[in-house]
Structure 1
């Protein structure tokens, strides 16, 4: 019985760690990123860079160039940019440097699925390979441009990738994985306790 009580106490301790991790995540400091819709973005309105420098700059902040995946995300970002009064063109994730006309996300390595192009674009005028967004009559539209041009960057906070692997340390797993692993551990401990608490069967002959 003592062993089972100890197991329960250990499990309670792990649940405390689990709860504190959730609390910490929910109150995580995303500075300098701000929540816009369901994502976190940062635009440094004091610093213009080429597309490559912009990508490195966003990574240095713990993010990537923004990867706009839906009209809803574009409209939320449009509203935010209008509120900030930013009129400049802005670099965001995507280029067709490897294969002309096939725009790939630099952050995910997958094709760009959502687009809302500026009229007659992309046109690859004089070999334009990198993607930017610009305001046209208060509407945020996409355009291909020369990668060496200097614009502001739209950085997007990079959510950490989580794995449900037993090899990962507790604090590097998703909270759902942690709970799943803890429940499995408690069940195994309960089974072990049950098997050890049963009387030994002696041979009858």
Structure 2
């Protein structure tokens, strides 16, 4: 019985380590709900500093300094939500977002994910790589928000996005925690059954 109890204690310790890790990640996730200065626009959280113009590279560093990244627009719904927000606030028409073809001309890759862009909505006759344009901007054209390639050194505003990967990571830990919790419960139940029937080996 002492040996079985010892095994259960080892599992409880392992469980405690993983539970503490999960609690830490839950704390990150819960605090993420207060995403200042990011605000909810559509289904994502964005931040636009309307008083600071930067080139594309500085914009990427700037977003990361706030724990975010340049906005990665993945659907027409996200584009429309940003369009309505930018139009309502009368924000300047050009804004940097995630994506460039610096590695290979014409192949636009998300800087945040390292994968090709999943959604595009180009300004007519673009991208055209005029004057070596390798970075992507959002351009409000005739009240419609469209994508355009531009010179990476141009100084304009940027759209930062709060990354959702923190929440996904937390949920992964929660799932691992549930598995461990089930194992511990099974061991505890086995120990109780064994003890009540006087079947446990004695030391």
Q: Same fold (TM over 0.5)?
A: yes
Conservation of the 8 A alpha-carbon contact between 2:194 and 2:200: no
Deviation at 1:161, TM superposition (A): 6.2
Corresponding residue of 2:40:
35
Deviation at 1:80, TM superposition (A): 1.1
Question: Structure 2: which 5+ runs fail to align?
Answer: 10-14
Question: Structure 1: which 5+ runs fail to align?
Answer: 164-170
Q: Which has the higher contact order (CA 8 A, sep 6+)?
A: 2
Corresponding residue of 1:124:
129
Against the structure 1 CA distance between its residues 74 and 162, is the aligned structure 2 distance closer, same or farther, given a 3 Å change threshold?
A: closer
Corresponding residue of 1:189:
188
CA–CA distance in structure 2, aligned partners of residues 130 and 201 of structure 1: 69
Deviations 1:59-87 (A, max 9, x none): 01010000000001111111111122102
Deviations 1:70-115 (A, max 9, x none): 0011111111111221023000000000010000000110111200
Q: Give the structure-2-normalised TM-score.
A: 0.78
Structure 1 or 2: more helix by fraction: 2
* Aligned residues: CA RMSD: 3.2
CA–CA distance in structure 2, aligned partners of residues 34 and 54 of structure 1: 18
Q: Give the structure-1-normalised TM-score.
A: 0.78
Conservation of the 8 A alpha-carbon contact between 1:33 and 1:42: yes
CA–CA distance in structure 1, aligned partners of residues 66 and 200 of structure 2: 64
Q: Does 1:48 pair with 2:53?
A: yes
Q: Does 1:86 pair with 2:91?
A: yes
- Aligned pair count reads 184
Against the structure 1 CA distance between its residues 27 and 109, is the aligned structure 2 distance closer, same or farther, given a 3 Å change threshold?
A: closer
Corresponding residue of 2:80:
75
Deviation at 1:191, TM superposition (A): 2.6
CA–CA distance in structure 1, aligned partners of residues 52 and 64 of structure 2: 15
Poorly superposed stretches of 4+, deviation over 6 Å: none
